[in-house]
């Protein structure tokens, strides 16, 4: 059947770029029908109106295509058995009417793919189905259908555009691009799939179109195309791809969806409440949780409870429950959560590790002060009882600590048992639990001694050419936690630090963590500073800088280790009143490392500059302000937010207008951490006697932020 494809040249352009349906402006009646079906398929409609197409088809194709389209509608609506019967009828008609060989094979493909869908639903694994065997027996095609050529040409147009954009010079002037041409090829492919009623190729085309739109969206930096790509992947139930796009393209997608995130979970294709529909909705809720309106939260809570109560096949039920629990992470503290906590606790006791890991992560998000003491106490007992069975017992101890902080006295019996267990096992999980408590207990000193002994063993082993792992825990981090609240320190501690830092066989990572430990203690424990000065550790390290910077590097896991080690060493020496070299040279190195490709190096450069600012006061203020201002343009959200906070803390009057303008720009930043930093900085300025009225205006704007935590942050001022 011939159709005038040029009349539909701009239909997809208009829809994807301007959300306009121009199908009614097409003159040819058949083209109108095909275009409307195309747009309905792109939107994920479950019941596209195809009836008007059938009379336009050649006589021998009418019944075949009608049966295939009836089957497509049945599949879209979860009626798989009926769909299979219809496809078998279509296959019989194709044999009787002697249609082209590829059409018979295409119907068999539909049957094979439908069989796979049914097997997945029934939790069956079939390595080679009956339909697959039939396909293997058929003669290979001796030509390629037009829709294959159309898809290949659409991808070629994308490849050509990618080449063009990356070979342009600063003087290149280009008119248009290949997007329209690529969309025309996609339309041609849809045309053939629709005219033949091909379920398989409709899915193939939609998935290819999603990838093509994503690629053009990246090439053109066009958030509209990225959003349409995301929707198509949702329609095709590509859960892992949807998650990746939401994560990697958040800055662009956020501005398109954040004002109405419900629009994504209200897509008509997701109304069937199949397991796939529920999972996709949960993924969207998880990502946009903080941005839903308060009046929407109750409906979302009802939906998530519905998800946890639904029964599918075993694997599908686990998948739905796991994603529903994840989706609660930014919802749990916005609802009356005791009922949910009880329900989730019951699921936890069923001992399914795939779900329990997510439950423990959720419990770490709960504000336990909002939960009754009795519920916390009972749950704490159940969690502690299951700690040996958990994949990640550290999550259990973290939750227990949060419960204790919310309800002091709720874990007395559990802590008695913990202490007994630690004396027997020297567990680092238990060590970490007690290290995070603000009030030292009788066991702290013993735990510090144990950590020091472990650090000595590691240092000895590194000298001998081997290493020891401690299950993901940093011994130095735990040591700093304990020493933070102590006033007396082991006399051997200073010598141990020097021995580790000057050991050329010690790993770069261990030296970094050792320096981190010392720096944290200097910043938060004045008595530790006196201890270091008494031991003259600064002068010892100053004389041995070259030895400290020699270490056993790990280029696979830490490609920037030496740079970070150097920056941390300079920061330590400056904090204890030792000038390792000319400060201008150090600032120049910070500027150099400030554009380093690895975030960790840039963060350490910022920390060093802040330490220079605090230690030397106004001496290097201009250099520091310029560095901090430049970092507010960093592409890493934490650096951007922290730099702004420090900048507002030290800025001079002549810089105030520049910084104010930058803060107003960052009000619209796509990352909530950056906007939160603006709030903290503005609140600090408002409280100062010289606070500019514009800071209050800034807070008034942020009080209407879509992120509920930021609204609370401003409101709590």
Q: What is the CA radius of gyration of the chain?
A: 32
Answer for the pair 478, 453: CB distance below 8 angstroms, yes or no.
no
Low-confidence ranges of the chain (pLDDT < 70): 1-9, 22-27, 122-129, 137-144, 171-176, 440, 471, 554-559, 689-691, 716-717
Closest CA to 194 of 78, 32, 86, 10: 32
d(CA 147, CA 152): 9
Q: The tokens of 464 are what?
A: 């001998």
Residue the block writes with tokens 């520049």? 658
Q: Give the model's pLDDT for residue 141.
A: 57
Q: Is 390 helix (H, G, I), strand (E, B) or coil?
A: coil
d(CA 328, CA 307): 12
Q: For residues 513-548, b (16+ Cβ closer than 10 Å) or e, as one string?
A: bbbbbbbbbbeebeebeebbeebebbeebbeebeeb
CA distance 418 to 28: 79
User: What pLDDT sits at residue 99?
Assistant: 83
| The predicted structure's pLDDT at residue 581 | 79
**CA 383 – CA 345 distance, rounded (Å):** 9
DSSP letters, 461-511, are HHHTT-----TT--HHHHHHHHHTT-S---THHHHHHHHHHT-TTSBHHHH
pLDDT at res. 655: 85
pLDDT at 154: 85
In order, the DSSP letters of 83-105 are HHHHHHHHHHHHHHHT--HHHHH
Query: What pLDDT shows up at residue 81?
Result: 93
Write down the residue that tokens 């509920």 correspond to. Answer: 708
Say what the pTM is. Answer: 0.87
Look up tokens 């920061």; give the residue: 571
Distances (CA, A) of 558 to 149, 193, 523, 637, 662: 46, 50, 26, 21, 33
């Amino acid at each position: 059947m011939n159709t005038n494809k040029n009349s539909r040249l701009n239909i997809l352009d208009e829809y994807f770029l301007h959300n306009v349906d121009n199908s009614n402006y097409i003159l040819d009646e058949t083209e109108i029908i095909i275009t409307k079906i195309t747009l309905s398929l792109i939107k994920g409609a479950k019941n596209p109106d195809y009836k008007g197409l059938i009379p336009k088809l050649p006589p021998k194709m009418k019944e075949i295509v009608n049966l295939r389209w009836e089957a497509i509608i049945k599949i879209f609506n979860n009626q798989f058995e009926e769909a299979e019967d219809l496809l078998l009828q279509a296959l019989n008609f194709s044999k009787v009417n002697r249609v082209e060989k590829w059409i018979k094979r295409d119907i068999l493909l539909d049957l094979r793919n439908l069989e796979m869908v049914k097997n997945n639903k029934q939790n069956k694994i079939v390595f080679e189905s009956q339909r697959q065997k039939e396909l293997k027996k058929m003669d290979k095609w001796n030509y390629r259908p037009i829709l294959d050529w159309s898809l290949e040409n659409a991808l070629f147009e994308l490849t050509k555009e990618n080449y063009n954009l990356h070979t342009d010079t600063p003087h290149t002037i280009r008119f248009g691009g290949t997007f329209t041409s690529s969309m025309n090829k996609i339309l041609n492919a849809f045309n053939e799939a629709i005219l033949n009623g091909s379920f398989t190729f409709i899915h193939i085309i939609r998935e290819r179109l999603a990838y093509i739109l994503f690629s053009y969206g990246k090439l053109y930096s066009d958030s509209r195309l990225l959003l349409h790509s995301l929707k198509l992947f949702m329609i095709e139930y590509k859960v892992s791809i949807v998650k990746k796009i939401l994560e990697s393209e958040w800055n662009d997608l956020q501005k398109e969806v954040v004002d109405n995130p419900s629009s994504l979970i209200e897509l008509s294709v997701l109304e069937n409440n199949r397991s796939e529909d529920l999972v996709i909705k949960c993924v969207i809720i998880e990502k946009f949780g903080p941005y839903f309106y308060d009046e929407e939260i109750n409906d979302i809570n009802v939906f998530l409870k519905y998800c946890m109560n639904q029964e599918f096949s075993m694997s599908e039920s686990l998948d739905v429950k796991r994603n529903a629990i994840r989706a609660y992470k930014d919802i749990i503290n916005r609802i009356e959560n005791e009922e949910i906590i009880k329900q989730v606790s019951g699921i936890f006791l069923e001992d399914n590790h795939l779900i329990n890991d997510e439950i423990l992560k959720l419990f770490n998000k709960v504000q336990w002060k909002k939960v009754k003491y009795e519920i916390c106490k009972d749950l704490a007992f159940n969690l502690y009882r299951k700690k040996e069975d958990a994949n990640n017992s550290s999550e259990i101890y973290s939750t227990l600590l949060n419960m204790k902080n919310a309800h002091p006295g709720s874990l007395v019996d559990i802590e008695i048992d913990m202490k007994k267990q630690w004396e027997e096992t020297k567990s680092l999980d238990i060590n970490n639990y007690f290290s995070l408590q603000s009030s030292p207990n009788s066991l702290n000193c013993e735990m510090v001694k144990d950590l020091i002994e472990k650090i000595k063993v590691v240092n000895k082993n590194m000298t001998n050419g081997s290493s020891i792992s401690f299950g993901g825990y940093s011994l130095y981090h735990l040591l700093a936690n304990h020493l933070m609240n102590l006033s007396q320190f082991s006399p051997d501690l200073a010598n141990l630090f020097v021995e580790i830092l000057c050991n050329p066989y010690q790993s770069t990572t261990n030296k970094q963590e050792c320096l981190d430990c010392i720096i944290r203690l200097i910043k938060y424990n004045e008595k530790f500073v006196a201890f270091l000065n008494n031991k003259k550790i600064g002068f010892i390290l100053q004389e041995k800088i070259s030895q400290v910077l020699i270490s056993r590097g790990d280029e696979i896991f830490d490609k920037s280790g030496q740079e970070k080690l150097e920056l941390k060493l300079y920061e330590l020496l400056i904090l204890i009143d030792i000038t390792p070299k000319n400060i201008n040279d150090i600032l120049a190195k910070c500027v150099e490392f400030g554009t380093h490709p690895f975030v960790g190096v840039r963060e350490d450069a910022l920390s060093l500059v802040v330490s220079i600012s605090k230690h030397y006061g106004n001496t290097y203020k201009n250099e520091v302000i310029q560095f901090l201002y430049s970092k507010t343009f960093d592409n890493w959200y934490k650096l951007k937010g922290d730099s702004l906070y420090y900048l507002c803390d030290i800025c001079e009057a002549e810089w105030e207008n520049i910084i104010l303008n930058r803060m107003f720009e960052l009000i619209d930043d796509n990352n909530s951490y950056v906007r939160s930093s603006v709030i903290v900085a503005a609140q600090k300025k408002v409280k100062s006697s010289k606070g500019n009225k514009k800071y209050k205006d800034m807070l008034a704007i942020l009080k209407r932020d879509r992120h509920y935590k930021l609204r609370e942050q401003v409101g709590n001022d």
